[in-house]
Chain A
Amino acid sequence: MKLLDLIQFLSTKTVKKIAYSVLVLLIAVDFIIPRHEIHFFGDKIPGFWSLFGFIACVLIIIVSKWIGHMGLMKDENYYDK
């Protein structure tokens, strides 16, 4: 089945390498891209949104899990007790 082959191809190491080079390319191009919608200081810094995306992701995971383990997460039949 072709669809299956495609999905399996996407999890190979070659694709992983391509993905990393895309990330590098993203930051590189950000140095030369024309900026005409400057809303605040971050819009002037090349690569700002790359850093923002990465930090946002890490923060969301760590802070949410931390809040969750502070007592928000309960056993599934918590309300039945």
Chain B
Amino acid sequence: MISEIANIQFLHPSVFYILGGLLIPFLKGRVKQGYMLFVSLLAFFAVVNLPYGTFGAYEFLSWKLTFLEVDKLSKVFAYIFTIMGVIGVIYSIHVKNDGEHFSAFYYVGGSLGVIFAGDFLTLFLFWEMMAFSSVFLIWFRKSKSSLDSGFRYLLWHVAGGLILLAGIMLQYSVSGDLSVQYLPFHGWWPTDLQSLASFLIVIGFIVNAAVPPFGAWLPDAYPAATVTGAVFMSAFTTKTAVYALIRVCAGSEMLIVLGVVMAIYGVVYAVLENDARRLLAYHIISQVGYMVAGVGLGTPMAINGVVAHAFCHILYKSLLFMGTGSVLYVTGTAKLTELGGLYKTMPRTMIYTVIGGLSISAFPLFSGFVSKSMTVTAFGEAHLTWAFMALMLASAGTFLHTGLKVPYFIWFGKDQGLKAKEPPWNMELAMGIGALFCIGLGIFYKPLYALLPHAVHFEPYTAYHTWETLQVLLFTQLGFFLLLKKLWCEDTISLDTDWFPRKGAKAFMWITKPLAKIEYKFVGEIYEFIIQKPIMGTAKVFKIIDTVVVDGAMNGLGKLTLAWSRKIQNAQSGQIQHYAMYMVAGFIALIIVIMVLP
């Protein structure tokens, strides 16, 4: 690849994050901060310069791996991922922990790798890199609960990844072709091997898209992540999955139903939620629901809407996570019952967050309006009235929570007398940039529409459509203030589908305890009697031969092995985080070897 770099004018954008990330631990202070910003900007300009076509294909064993396949769809996602990379780096630039920067870089690099992957194996490689690097953004919070959440996050993603891998393998055995291609799944249940392959691939994707019942990892993990880690996480995992769904399974009808259910499900849980960041996490599920439903519909207008919505969603959702993250950073809590009255001390953070809230609610002149309405209108035009109405209902719910509930209970509500101030300058700058994008895209939406994969025949600002949206939103606001007492937050958590694995694991442990005792008592003793004793007898005989003959020769080797194993022993800490780190290191080494080798 080095030889190719000399000839060509462009690079795979994830190279900047993956190779660039390696230098972070060696730099300090302002140099490090400037370097990280520089790398993230370079990655963005690399995307700008990227021509359409297929590049970077390698023969690996008998497979052809394609690292860089660029078309309109992958490029628009690359634009928003690299823009988000810059904003995320600015927001987190004050963080002292190099590990956090490192994992964020590999997470972004992984997501760029997925969207440019031309074959399923490459896609899978980067898919796993995302999961294994992002889990550290949770673990670096360094509390017992985030450690546990991280493990659960990893388990969900490993399970989803294995299902995806099974689908990929089956697809390969059925068709002999590994290239990322259009494999829509029709109906609800697979009927032959080919549809089973598509089915498994869809399931693998929708685990990452947080589609219920596989979505419980998201509201579990994101509020457990670090302040800056959650900002990155809110942007990449689910949207990479949306990209993969568009690429592989657009028009799979199952996704319409799942997406609409998701949109409402997120809203219902958001009513019950007390942790502001978990409430926002449920609204990711709700918003991704619009996208999943749009992918299921699969018409050019719906796909345009989904891509535009993913673009805007990354900006406003990260802005919301930055706003609530700032509150958590300054006050030490994100629980709505413990917050209130912050408008006096953090008014600017409030303005940024409200801009994010108005954007996610699709208020006219804010970014969500030009993107969400395209998806919803596509359902109207397809005369799927039930889906259209359900998505409009979820829109009202979105404004109710993110636009009204979150700002109200943090900045107004009951004044808790918390000592607070505006966050550090870099966090504010990142929020300012995010807010500018949210307003800018709401007004100057034509450049975004030009990036979309299909030609756009849609005008968001028609008189009736603007009026329809204003009516829904402002009357939702009326309902909010009339029912404010009912909405008062309660200090609880809500059970989600992860109840089954979490309680199930406890039940499993409860059942296995007596089993382990039986095993120890009976099986262990029988084993000792039948196998161990005769072996010991034989061994005694051998030992005599051994001490006399072999020992002399072997002693030297034994000492060497002992010395080595003492060294390796240090690596065997018994902590899964450490093993995961070695795995990530192995991944990185592998990818770098592939990149650097000719």
Contact = CB atoms under 8 A, between A and B. Distances in A.
A76 B502 CA distance: 15
A26 B474 contact: yes
A63 interface: yes
23 contacts: A1-B347, A3-B347, A7-B350, A19-B477, A23-B474, A23-B478, A26-B470, A26-B471, A40-B385, A43-B468, A52-B471, A52-B472, A53-B472, A53-B473, A54-B475, A56-B479, A58-B479, A59-B393, A64-B267, A64-B268, A64-B269, A65-B486, A73-B494
B381 interface: yes
Interface in B407-427: 412
Contacts of B344: 4
Contact of B475 (A43, A57, A73): A57
B272 A64 contact: yes
Interface in B316-364: 343-344, 347-348, 350-351
B495 A37 contact: no
B271 A64 contact: yes
Contact of A53 (B350, B471, B494): B471
A57 B479 contact: yes
A76 B493 contact: yes
A30 B271 contact: no
In terms of DSSP, what is the predominant structure of the interface of chain B?
helix
A36 B462 contact: yes
Interface range for A: 35 or more
Most central of A40, A49, A71 by chain B CB within 10 Å: A49
B71 interface: no
**Ranked 10 nearest A-B pairs via Cβ:** A57-B479, A53-B475, A64-B271, A39-B380, A53-B472, A56-B396, A49-B471, A54-B475, A68-B272, A73-B492
B400 interface: yes
B475 A61 contact: no
Contact of B476 (A22, A36, A54, A74): A54
A73 B472 contact: no
A26 B277 CA distance: 33
Contacts of B182: none
A39 B411 CA distance: 39
B397 A56 contact: yes
A11 B90 CA distance: 34
A29 B383 CA distance: 26
Most central of B343, B347, B471, B487 by chain A CB within 10 Å: B471
A36 B271 contact: no
B271 A65 contact: yes
Given A40-B383, A62-B486, 5 more contacts: A26-B475, A35-B464, A56-B472, A57-B396, A65-B272
A57 B348 contact: no
B491 interface: yes
B437 interface: no
